[in-house]
Chains A and B, each alone.
Chain A
Amino acid sequence: MSYINGVFNGEAHPSSSISFFEGGVLQRFTGAALVAHGRRLARALELQGIRAGDRVGILSRNRHEWVLLDLACIALGAVAASLDSKMDLLEPGVLASLDLACLFTDDERYMALAIYRPIGAVAQLIEQCQEPLAHPVRHGPRQAVCLKFTSGSTGRPKGLLAAAESIDSSLEQVEKLFHHDTRDHILVFMPLSLLQQRYWVYSSLRLGHATTITPYESVFPAMAAVCPTVLMGVPGFFHELESLVRMRARRLAAGAPVEGQHLRSAMDAVSGGAVRYLWTGSAPCPVRLIEFFGQLGTPLYNGYGLNETCIISKNAPGADRLGSVGKVLSSKTVSFDARGQILVRSEAPIACRYEITSAPGDNDLFIGEDVVATGDTGHMDEDGYLYITGRIKDLLVMQNGQSIQPGDVERPLLTHEGVDFALVCGDDRPHLSALIWPKSADVDIDAVVAEVNHTLPQHMRLLRYQVMHDLDRSDRQLFTSQMKPIRPTFHERFAQPIELMYTRRPV
């Protein structure tokens, strides 16, 4: 039985539970109860005129109603348009491109819209509708389940209609690697607007593990309250978890040198002490961070995927190689073009085009029905582990004709403990330079650059740099939802400091 079709056309696993944590309060539902509420909500929406194929906008922080709306859309065959809170729906043209039948949101800016529905009213809709939807839709393999968004190079969102079979395929592959069962408890704190976060609801209903959902602001209290076995987060989150663990460990050590036992005790105290593994991806993850959690006995598994492909490769128990993004899933085939670009063929593609585009050429990355040109460069080792080395679009061609992958210079900078972020420039310029955001004001960036330059071949060394401050990583014009820098925007936004690096004489 498919995961998606199993939600309403099967039975929820008797051990399945979905909980919601906020403000110190944990609200727990059995999977069966949640499905029953979702089916009544589907009927309520049907009575309001929502039909299969209609797009139901959901724009809200993580909450109980978000999940109910998602389930109701699945039952109805409607498309859940999972909107990112950073999106501005009032920007000209955006709403028209989304073509929403209604918009459930906690954002009062949209109250004046005819399609506005307060998300808080979902409970009332269910209360008023005692009968469930008579015949939940059975999705065909290519039928769209949701509309998911990704940042475009212009900063405006692009939307993909995600096919049912792609969700099933990804979940089946994940289970082959991680074997979740009724002993697992997965904590979801990244936005539910990311489809992958909702996977944990579908898998709980099928496999019987527990899932707790919380807004990011409550993640650490939630960890202490529910003692999760699995945490999924971007590398930036695991940096913060490391920071918290180190602070706690220093206090436990009470002035003595911090040792492994202090770090392990601190990790147990912060995480609840039951973590089986940690999942990361979406952005480059420093090896140092993976080593840190590995030493604590809570392995951090790095992986690789795009919005357009879902998971491509993943490190996992028994198949984990430091520095790689894991082995390619059996449902994907990876090849490389002449420029070293990673091409991914999917047995069950998410989509073969963007339904909503933000700029001409957005669909160029789709090659035929089932291949995506990732834009990333990489290689595979003899054992099948994939390594990401840079972005094909990012290639810098300097005035001397030398081609440089900026990631090759940025990676050693980013793995330095004093550097928060770095962007290397040099396209059509005489030499390489970098904008560097230090982690704190007292980092000696001169020393950092000298140290990194020492490890690089002559032609890749930085001749100038500019120390920067105040980088907002939540700015969707600067970073994609996968936390990759949108280089044209960086060059536009920081044109002045970049120019300064080339008008001053190199040292």
Chain B
Amino acid sequence: MPPPFRVAPSGTEAAPDGIEDLRDLYDEEEGEE
């Protein structure tokens, strides 16, 4: 029987808050180039 939840790999942090903002900044800056 599979576990009732998904086990995240140990030591790996989920994408933190703010990473989408950072991604947007990179996208904007790439558009400026």
Chain B associates with chain A: no
